[in-house]
Amino acid sequence: MTPMSTRDRILDAALQTFAEQGFSRTSMRELAARVQMRAPSLYNHFASKGEIMLALLERSGPGRMARLIEGLPADLPAEQLIEAVLEGLFALWRDPQDNRSMRLVCAEALHDAALGQRLEAQVFRHERDQIKGLLLRAAAGTPEAQAEQWADLCVALAFAHRLQLLLVGEQPEQAEAIIRQCRAQFRQLARWLDLPLGLPGD
């Protein structure tokens, strides 16, 4: 088994500590003690708690989704592009550890406006833009206004279902019902805007 890196040990300790006592009530000194290092050594890895929170997100849903999107072939047909986006999203939604990380981050962002703004600017907006760009690529050849509207609606739909899933907690049956609903609504939106995409399940 590959030894866990110092960075991952810090992130694991941070996730546990933030969950136990909250982001704002956790100090860098406490995190350093959790991983048995001095505070100055911790700062060699992360400049602040905000950097740690961003790293947690990079390791979980948004970061994983971004890497999946960046790795897709440029010439992938529309149906396969959309299926890849959906399956990537749904794989994250089924991951209990990812859901715990996202639930923690969203809860803390509600109480810390600066953290929320930073997450929106540096993480969530980037993920939305990536997904939207991929959807627009899949809809190439259709009227631009229709494709733009469809992509915007799909991104909003995905984030709304993601929030719904986080609220229900770790209940696999409800999670699968949310995933089925999201997939069906992607298809309904394409039909509503008369986009000939041949979506999976049509």
* Domain of residue 5, CATH code: 1.10.10.60
Domain boundaries, position 47: 1-58
126 compared with 167, residue with greater pLDDT: 167
Domain boundary among 11, 30, 58: 58
Residue 153 CB contacts under 8 Å (≥ 6 apart), including other chains: 189
* DSSP category for residue 140: T
Same structural domain, 46 and 134: no
Indicate whether 50 and 78 sit together in one domain: no
Is 130 a member of any domain?
yes
The answer to the question of residue 160 being in a domain is yes
**What does the alpha-carbon distance between residue 128 and residue 151 come to, in Å, rounded to a whole number?**
10
- How far is Cα 198 from Cα 202, in angstroms, rounded to an integer? 6
Q: How many CB atoms lie within 10 A of CB 103?
A: 16
Place of tokens 């890196």: 5
- Whether residues 87 and 50 share a domain: the answer is no
Using the predicted structure, report yes or no on whether residue 147 has a pLDDT greater than 60: yes
Phi/psi at 87 (5° precision): -65, -35
% the chain with pLDDT above 90 = 10
CATH code where residue 73 lies: 1.10.357
Query: Do residues 183 and 141 both lie within one domain?
Result: yes
CB of 33 closer than 8 Å to CB of 17: no
Residue 142: count other Cβ atoms within 10 Å of its Cβ: 19
Please give the model's pTM, rounded to 2 decimal places: 0.66
124's tokens: 């969530």
Residues 91, 113 within the same domain: yes
Q: What is the pLDDT of residue 192?
A: 79
Mark whether 93 and 45 lie in a shared domain.
Answer: no
Query: CB 3: neighbour CB atoms within 10 A?
Result: 7
Residue 132 shares a structural domain with residue 68: yes
Residue 5: is its pLDDT beyond 70? Answer: yes
Total structural domains in the chain? 2
Task: Tell me the chain's radius of gyration from C-alpha atoms.
Answer: 19
Whether 5 and 43 map to the same domain: the answer is: yes
Angle at 122 between CA 137 and CA 11, to 5 degrees: 115
Tokens 């810390």 identify what position?
A: 112
- Model confidence pLDDT, tens digit, residues 16-42: 888 788 788 889 999 999 999 998 999
Per-residue confidence (pLDDT) for residue 199, from 0 to 100: 56
Q: Are the CB atoms for 19 and 31 separated by under 8 Å?
A: no
pLDDT of the residue at 28: 92
Q: Are residues 32 and 96 in the same domain?
A: no
> What would the two tokens of residue 10 be?
């810090």
The two tokens of residue 181 are 């609903």
The residue out of 38, 58, 78 marking a domain boundary is: 58
- How confident is the model at residue 188, as a pLDDT? 83
Quick check: is 22 in a domain? yes
pLDDT exceeds 80 at position 58: no
202 within some domain:
no
What is the pLDDT, as a whole number, of residue 1?
45
Query: Which residue from 195, 127, 179, 191 is spatially nearest to 155, judged by alpha carbons?
Result: 127
CB 55 within 8 A of CB 15: no
Instruction: Give the whole-angstrom CA distance, residue 6 versus residue 43.
Output: 12
